[in-house]
Amino acid sequence: MTKEAARPPTRPPAADFGSGDFRFPSFDLRYESDGSRIAPLQFRSYEIFSGKPAVDPAQPAYYVEASDEATTLRVDLWDPLTDLRMELWYTVYHEYDIITRRAVVVNSSPGAVTLRSIMSATVDLPNAKHHYTMSHLSGSWARERLLTSDRLHVGTKSIHSRRGASSHQHNPFFIISDGDYSEHSGDHYAFSLVYAGGFLGHAEMTQTGHLRLAMGIDPMTFEWNLASGDAFIAPEIALAYSHAGVGEISRQLHRLMRTRLVRGNFRDRRRPTLVNSWEAMYFDVSEDRIVEDLAIPAAELGIELVVLDDGWFGERNNDRSSLGDWWPNPEKFPNGLAGVAERVRALGLEFGIWMEPEMISVDSDLYRAHPDWPLHVGQRPRTESRNQLVLDLSRPDVRDFVVDAVAAVLTSANISYLKWDFNRHLTEAGSAYFGAAQQGEIYHRFVLGVYDIMERLVTAFPNVLFESCSGGGGRYDPALLYYMPQVWTSDNTDAIARLKIQYGTSVAYPASTMSAHVTKSPNEQNGRTTTLATRGLVALGGVFGYELDLNVLDSQEQAQIRQQLALHNRIEDVVRTGDVYRLFSPYEPDPQQPRLTSWMYVAADRQRAVLFAFNSDYYELVWNNPRVVLRGLDPAAVYELYDDVQLKRYTLPGAVLMSAGVPVIFNRDGSSLFYEIVAQSKK
């Protein structure tokens, strides 16, 4: 043997951890046989499929309805020293600038492997033409998904949730702009993770100005054991690109989400207008109050569905008890749910209900019977939040209980809607069911448990409209949309605060998913006074409903609500299925102008559109009346513009509306403007 041959082999630096690429790695694992963490993967083979194979039917993912909609590439990598494999699945949707991506680790090595982190996508971008900007949707309870943009400098910026849920604080979505964030121009790249648990979105700019981007399960709350032969399938991610502004990314993602992520009978259907009991009566619900204070006036107004929110079950008179005891309180509902549902239905309305199935109150029969069922770590104290603990959905017996409990409620009465709440995040995420080696897996096992119970229930109850909720919009993510087509956007129902929330949400999610209710004024959360007209128009930009005491309305307000419901009937399909154009941002006040927010939706055939504009936070007299320049119309068509009570205001060609625009004259704080836009031949 020569000296040369005895030297270990060398190679150029590879993009895995520990062998020369010092940036954030796309995965990190440990071979338990020798404790090493180096796995330089090499290309081995690839295969191309027409359509989109379901890589893991147990996890949410985008789908196709016909195999010619998409083409999928699977790239196989391996570590030649150990035989460990990785599959990368890329699906290109032919009609969209969107690629979905999945990573699968297959431990075909002879020994055990611990997966310490895995990103669903890692993308390297060259130096920016100007500079890079990272935009994301961040906030907190009652101020979710506020659009935030930061210029990237050398170093790292990340968004994350370590809460076991996607969270109010950060959304599993970010945009990288080559230059500044811009609605209508420029190159932009979006990352949208299909995961309901904790996540990481990471941007790292190197000393050379190159940008590494990564998104996947939050590594801090993740670990997975892979025995020889086991595989781990990371969540799917959608990667979107636009060279014509962020607006185009939104429109493409919305279309794909609406039609190839959301499933079920309600995917393409008009959703019923509803009235929800929460802000009308909080925990003080009863059969008589639901019928007399909500259902009877709702029927008179033409609202279609009455939702009995929190307070109906066990001993639930406040938020300190009874989660898990899913039977109707006999004093409030002496005839059970069937009794109240029948009285509501007799008025011609549908009946819906609220549950929080993943939770358990310490003060509940369920907890007294099963103190081991919440997530917990041995004898350590269990951190309560909103006086409740989280059920250990990594356990099959707990999952069966939840499925049975929800199914029992849904079959106990004629229920056509379920609001599924989740009012706290995970702490002490350990399980009494699993051994020590599995404890690092519980966060992810919980998420898989959520998917399992939701899949079983939405399959068993295809005619129930499910709306997800998490203290408002604390779990507003693509994974939940795979099970439930709409989300309670925020517990903040103030119309003006909602402008920023709904505008930010619309960057990543379509209006068809965004539940929005008209509530009372002054608003319950922040005390702001807003006109009923403005409250209605803000809510009409989403899935429309009411949440207030209908008995206190005067006749003028009743007439206005009837008009809103009629307007909703005329335009809901345009909002639900149309393309969004964001025209004025509530985040960009110009000191010389009133603070304007404006968005429009345009039907696919461009024959109909709706324009909304709002004046927010402006207490000075307006000297410069702005014009709102429309977008997305057919320049050659002539359109008629009607206001919300159908008075004709303008007849103008699309080209004029999209160059000169329409004037907006606001002289009151919180005032609003609406136009229904109809191509002339259509009216």
What residue ranges bind ligand GLA (CB under 6 A)?
278, 309-310, 354, 421, 423, 469, 471-472, 488, 491
Smaller CB distance to ligand GLA: residue 214 or 359?
A: 359
Which residues are the active-site residues?
421, 491
Q: Which of 411, 459, 501 is nearest to 168 (CA)?
A: 501
Q: How far is the CB of 519 from ligand GLA (least distance, A)?
A: 11
Q: Is 42 exposed, middle or buried (0-12, 13-18, 19+ CB in 10 A)?
A: exposed
Q: How far is CA 586 from CA 12, 410, 510, 544, 597, in A?
A: 50, 41, 18, 21, 5
DSSP string, 587-633: T---TTS--EEEEEEE-TTSSEEEEEEEE-S--S--SS--EEPP-SS
Q: How far is the CB of 306 from ligand GLA (least distance, A)?
A: 14
Smaller CB distance to ligand GLA: residue 219 or 473?
A: 473
**Closest residue by beta carbon to ligand GLA:** 310
Q: How far is the CB of 520 from ligand GLA (least distance, A)?
A: 14
Phi, psi at 463, each rounded to 5°: -95, 5
Q: Which two tokens stand for residue 274?
A: 């509803």
Q: How far is the CB of 470 from ligand GLA (least distance, A)?
A: 7
Smaller CB distance to ligand GLA: residue 140 or 680?
A: 140
Q: Which two tokens stand for residue 269?
A: 């259907």
Q: Which two tokens stand for residue 483?
A: 């099970």
Q: Is 639 exposed, middle or buried (0-12, 13-18, 19+ CB in 10 A)?
A: buried
Q: How far is the CB of 141 from ligand GLA (least distance, A)?
A: 8
What one-character DSSP code corresponds to residue 571? H
Q: How far is the CB of 68 from ligand GLA (least distance, A)?
A: 42
Smaller CB distance to ligand GLA: residue 361 or 598?
A: 361
Q: Which of 530, 534, 313 is nearest to 405 (CA)?
A: 313
**ω before 12 within 30° of 0 (cis)?**
no
Smaller CB distance to ligand GLA: residue 162 or 517?
A: 517
Smaller CB distance to ligand GLA: residue 172 or 471?
A: 471
Question: Which residues neighbour 396 within 8 Å (Cβ) at sequence distance 6 or greater?
Answer: none
Three-state secondary structure of 191-211: EEECCCCCEEEEEEECCCCCE
d(CA 673, CA 397): 53
Q: What is the largest CA-CA distance in the chain?
A: 100
Smaller CB distance to ligand GLA: residue 286 or 607?
A: 286
Q: What is the CA radius of gyration of the chain?
A: 26
Q: How far is the CB of 357 from ligand GLA (least distance, A)?
A: 13
